[in-house]
Amino acid sequence: MNASYKTAIQFKDLYIPVKMLKTSHNSSIELNQLCKDSKERVRYIKFCPSCNKEIHNEDIVKGYKYAEDKYVILEQYDIESITSNKDRTLSIKYFCKSKEISDLLIDKSYYLIPEMESEIEYELLRKAMTTNRVVGMAEIVFGTKQELVALFANKNCIIATILFYENEINELPIIMKHKTDKQQLENLKQDILDNTKEFDWESHYDKYQLKLRKLIFDKIPK
């Protein structure tokens, strides 16, 4: 999905046009692959072995493999025919408590920013959800996948969090439970208590990226 995506929140008679903005971004340094000899950037081409030629995006269609070397072709209008505007709207089905949603289910999150004409309705919903301390459960279609979405309201905004479906979570391997020494357990519990403090977000940063950045800039010819 793009960094900014237009949709709407819908619940009963409320229809609130919003933009979805990513809550985070990747700040990692990007390293390109270069030819060892020429130092030119490697180029990847889309190649058809049957036609023995490079092909471009306008020459590509999507297909589903149902047997060896056999595909069902899906044109864009085929995909659009099974979706409606409602499918691309954050329609709230019901509300639940946030404690019912396991951290294991959380994929990625987006800020929901109201369009100017829907700011009052947005604030109304945000306040109601915050007061009731509930999460709105919705579904929306992105591309060729329907996403399960949890809407969390806080004092500033409403956040849409994509959740994994049950069949997307890998089963936990069996972990054997063993008898532990009581005194060792008490000592460890005390050590944990002695090293427990408030979470300090600002003290955490990617030290490796800083070292990598310094390494790169030291190699740049002066």
Average pLDDT of the chain?
91
Q: Is 86's pLDDT higher than 80?
A: no
Overall CATH class of domain 4-25+81-168: mainly beta
Q: Are 209 and 27 in contact (CB under 8 A)?
A: yes
Continuous H helices in 49-117: 76-81
pLDDT for residue 3: 56
Cβ atoms within 10 A of the Cβ of 44, count? 6
The rounded distance, in Å, linking the Cα atoms of 168 and 105 is 9
**pTM recorded for the entire structure:** 0.80
Which residue ranges make up each domain of the chain? 4-25+81-168
Q: Is 157's pLDDT higher than 90?
A: yes
The rounded distance, in Å, linking the Cα atoms of 35 and 102 is 46
Task: Please name the residue that has the structure tokens 């609130």.
Answer: 16
Instruction: Tell me the CA distances in angstroms from 33 to 44, 54, 83, 126, one per residue in order.
Output: 11, 21, 39, 46
pLDDT for residue 69: 86
Q: Is 21's pLDDT higher than 90?
A: yes
What would the pLDDT profile of 103-154 be if each residue is shown by its tens digit? Answer: 999 999 999 999 999 999 999 999 999 999 999 999 998 877 899 999 999 9
Instruction: Tell me the CA distances in angstroms from 209 to 25, 38, 123, 206, 217, one per residue in order.
Output: 15, 27, 39, 6, 12
pLDDT category at 76 given cuts 50, 70, 90 is confident
pLDDT for residue 99: 93
> Residue 41 corresponds to which tokens in the numbers above?
């950037």
Strands 90-96 and 4-11: parallel
Q: Is 27's pLDDT higher than 70?
A: yes
What would the pLDDT profile of 87-98 be if each residue is shown by its tens digit? Answer: 789 999 999 999
Residue 89: closest CA among 178, 206, 5, 176: 5
Q: Which residue has the higher pLDDT, 16 or 201?
A: 16
Q: Which residue has the higher pLDDT, 176 or 81?
A: 176
pLDDT for residue 80: 75
Residue 32: closest CA among 23, 45, 41, 24: 41
Q: Is 188's pLDDT higher than 70?
A: yes
| Length reported for the chain | 222
pLDDT for residue 195: 96
pLDDT category at 84 given cuts 50, 70, 90 is low
pLDDT for residue 148: 95
Q: Is 159's pLDDT higher than 60?
A: yes
> Residue 21 corresponds to which tokens in the numbers above?
């903005």
> Residue 92 corresponds to which tokens in the numbers above?
């709230």
What would the pLDDT profile of 51-74 be if each residue is shown by its tens digit? Answer: 999 999 888 988 989 999 899 998
